[in-house]
Every structure is written in C-alpha cells, then in structure tokens.
Amino acid sequence: MKVTLINPPYPPNAHAHPPFIPLGIAYLGAVAERAGHEVNVIDCQAERLTVETFKPRISKEKPDVIGITATTLLYNSAKDILTVTKEEHPNAITMIGGSHVTFWDENALNECSAIDVIVRREGEITFRELLQRLQDKQSFSDVLGITYRGADGKIIRNQDRPFLLDLDSLPSPAYHLLPIDAFHRMGKTIFPLVTSRGCVQWCDFCSTVRMFGRGYRTRNPHTVVDEMEMLQNKYGESQFTFYDDAFTINRQHTLTMCADIKARKLNVEWDCETRVDAVDKELLEKMRDAGCITVWFGVESGSEKILGKMHKKVNREQVRDAFKLAQKTGMMTIASSVIGFPGETEQTAWETVNFINSLNPDDIGCYIATPYPGTPMYEEVIKNGWLKVTDFNKYDTATPTFETPELSMDKIREIKYKAHQKFYLRPGYVFKMMRRGGTYGRSGLKTSAAYALRAMHIKLS
C-alpha cells in the first residue's frame, strides 16, 4: 500500500521551535516499510508548509493511507491538514495518533469528519496491524488501541493495546524518509534517539507518562550504540539527543551504554534529560567520559509546597546536589521549571525563579503550566472552572491558559518574562557564555542580547 505520513505545521503565531527530526514518524515509517509498504513523509515544519501551501504538495501524492501525528498544540493544524487531504483523496483512510488524541479520541472524531481512525498511545504495532487489515480488506473490530467510525458512523472504542515490552523488536527509525538537510543548523544535525519508554513516577502535569505508561522499558544498550555508530558512519554526524523522559532511571543500563561507547572509541557528543534523584557522582562522570555534554534536569519548582502538589517526589536539596555533581564533571546543565501550577502564588513562583538562578545552570526552560488532556492537572483545572483558554493553538507552554484565585494569567505572564530577563541579563551569565564560546556560548549570548534589547524596548526585525 502507499502510505503518506505527515508532521503538521505549527499554528500561526504560536511559540514554535526550530524543526526537530520527528522520531515518532521515523519509527512508523520504518515499521510500514518493513511490512512491505511504500512510504513517504511530508514534514510541514521542515518544509515550511502552511495548510494552504500543503494542498498542492499532497495533491501530487496518491496515498491509500494517510497518517498524522499531533501534540495538543498541533491538534488543530492536524485537523486542518486532514480536511485538505480528504478533499484531495476522499478514498484514502486517514489516521491520527499522538498524545493529544489518545485522551481526546471521541472528541476528535466528533470534531473532524476527515478523521477515520484514532491510534491511541504507542502506535507502531497498531499501525502495522491496521495496514494489514486494510490490505486484506478486513474489519478493524478487534484491533487493539484504536477508536474509529463504524459502518453506521457510530464511534467505536476498542480496548487499549498493552505496551510493547520488547522495544528491540522495532526497526531503526527510517531517517532516510525525512528531509535531513532541513534539520541542519548551527553547523550540525542533532539526531534523536531513545533508549527507553515510560517513567517510574506520576507527576500531575505530565501527559507523556500516561502515554507510555508507569513502568520503565529499555532497549538493549548495545543496540542503541549500534544506532549511534550507524548514523555517524552514514551521515557523518557525531551529536545526538536522547528523548527518554528519565534517561538514567536504570543506572546499570546507562553505565553499560557508556562503556560500549568508550569500548568502540566513538567520538560522539550527546545530551539527555533525567530526574535529579536518578544520578550520582560515578554515573555522571561515566556519562561525561562517554560524550555527554549536557543534561536537562526537571527542577519544576523551587517551592517544596508546589513540588508536593505536583507529586514530583524530589526536594530542593536533591536538586542542588544533582546540579553540583553534573557541573563538577564539566557538563552543561539546563534547569526546566513550571510556573503557574495549581496552588502557585506569586511568592512560590519567585521562589522558583530565585532557586533556579542559585543553581547557576547554563540555560533554563521556564514553562507555563499547561493543562493537557489526560493529566490530573487538566482534571483539576476543569473541575474548579479555572480554564480560560480552550483554543489548543495557545497550548504552547509560553501562553497562560488558566488562572486560579491565587495567581492571574497576567501575573503568570509577567513573572515568566521577568524570570528570563533576570536569568539571561546577569553579568555572571554573560561572562560565562563568553568564556564558553562555541555553538552554545554564542547561543547564550544571542539570547542575552535579545532580552537586553527587549528591556530597552528595541525590537529585532
């Protein structure tokens, strides 16, 4: 069968990142190719396509099946893309997967007549089975993990599919289907990899753990290093980023991977994201020695009270220790935080800002609490009538979408801006980035300059 996979564009005026390699689509493409299907990918973000300019692009294809992925922010764009696609190819079967529709499945089918099938949670095995059923002209009635329209138009929700335990059974991502040159910036292409799925914790703001389960499933660490070596040989690249939600939860798994990188004498650089309670001195030193240059830590809040409300299950002392240990190895550290979680006050928000600065990270990710469907935070916000913004195009973690009696949306917006200004305009940070030099140093200085100009009310064209 002819399969077209689509990465939808960001909605207009949303806070958008530069295009990243869409790892989920690359996995789906590999699974479909392994099953003998003909696959192509349209990455609207990489190709800079809008919904309007997408139409002539899709008209050139002749797909039997269209698959699209969508986070909450991309959901409306995905619906628009599928509507255009269905107009051009009315006989093609359309499928949509991703974190948003996993928890918005029946709503999505009611909201968009161009959607035929919702693929919930992990999609690879479900997608392969759907393609086989279509090819054999068989019913979807017992395909696990889908919500779809029956012959009479009635919405049918099949049982969940169990999580895939053997991650090594999946083929390597089909990077060859993607416009790789479009992801090359600042002198390099950073390839995404995963070593695991799931998380052992259950933070109230996180939809990812509900997407991939409260459990930790790992790939063979040697297979991961095989993939790194293959990409380095094929594309001449040496930098990678791990998309694991908690990279170091399985300590021995990480140590084995690092030892294999060293044994093969791979000259690679990589970064990862993990929890502050899942690192120690030896582990971080081994990671640094194997090429880890940056670690993202989920600090989330500098207030013990808010950390408790989030069910983060860490404390400030653990955060400080993790940053000190990572910094002593020479790694760059990035502190991720959330402002405006239910229960947040102006005082606790500033506790977070000041605590983050005291850690002296190389960069920060200060995000506004966003109530994604499927999370306890969403349920709490809805239950209390706090939701003010229902347009998912605004769910970009840079825009407030709800407010509580303790903290208004305007105040959240103000604190976020001042938090960035306070961090990036510190003289110590500017000198630190000047000394660091290279790609990261230049990036930090560029960010500092942008906030300085903004503080002086000067806009860059």
CA distance 316 to 323: 11
Confidence (pLDDT) at 192:
96
> Residue ranges of the domains in the chain?
2-157, 186-363, 425-461
**Residue 147 burial (10 A CB sphere; 0-12, 13-18, 19+):** buried
Residue 51 predicted with pLDDT over 80: yes
Judge whether 303 and 348 are in contact, CB under 8 Å: yes
Buried b (16+ CB within 10 A) or exposed e, 187-207: eebbbbbbbbbbbebebbbbb
Least confident of 102-111, 211-220, 244-253, 408-417: 211-220
Interval 109-120 mean pLDDT:
98
Which of these ranges, 7-16, 115-124, 352-361, has the smallest mean pLDDT? 7-16
Distance CA 335, CA 299 (A): 6
Report helix, strand or coil for 383. helix
> Is the pLDDT score of 54 beyond 80?
yes
438 pLDDT tier (thresholds 50, 70, 90) = confident
Q: Is 300 left (phi over 0), alpha (psi -120 to 50) or beta?
A: left
Would you say residue 124 has pLDDT above 60?
yes
Are 246 and 200 in contact by the 8 Å Cβ rule? The answer is: yes
Strand stretches in 72-129, DSSP E: 93-97, 117-119
Question: Is residue 459's pLDDT more than 80?
Answer: no
Check whether domain 2-157 has CATH 3.40.50.720, yes or no: no
- Condensed to tens digits (0 to 9), the pLDDT of residues 129-172 reads 999 999 999 999 999 999 999 888 899 999 999 999 999 999 99
Higher pLDDT, 285 or 246: 285
Residue 88's φ and ψ, nearest 5 degrees, are: -80, -35
Who wins on pLDDT, 443 or 262?
A: 262
More confident: 63 or 152: 63
Q: In CATH terms, are 2-157 and 186-363 the same topology?
A: no
Per-residue pLDDT at 460:
44
| Percentage with pLDDT > 90 across the chain | 83
Chain centroid, CA 186 distance in Å:
21
Residue 306: is its pLDDT beyond 80?
yes
Q: Indicate yes or no: pTM above 0.85.
A: yes
pLDDT digits (tens, 9 = 90+) for 206-223: 887 788 887 889 999 999
Please give the Cα distance from 28 to 119 (Å, whole number).
Answer: 12
Q: Mean pLDDT over all residues of the chain?
A: 94
Mean pLDDT of 331-338: 97
Please give the pLDDT value at position 461: 37
Contact in structure between 133 and 143 (CB atoms under 8 Å): yes
Q: Quickly state the pLDDT bin for 17 (edges 50, 70, 90).
A: confident
**Joined tokens for residue 400:** 């407030």
pLDDT at residue 401 above 70?
yes
Confidence label for 458 from pLDDT (cuts 50, 70 and 90): low
Q: Which of 3-12, 245-254, 452-461 has the lowest mean pLDDT?
A: 452-461
Q: What is the mean pLDDT of residues 115-133?
A: 98
pLDDT at 263: 98
Q: How confident is residue 203, by pLDDT bands cut at 50, 70 and 90?
A: confident
Among residues 40, 71, 69, the alpha carbon closest in space to that of 57 is found at 40
The CATH number assigned to the domain with range 186-363 reads 3.20.20.70
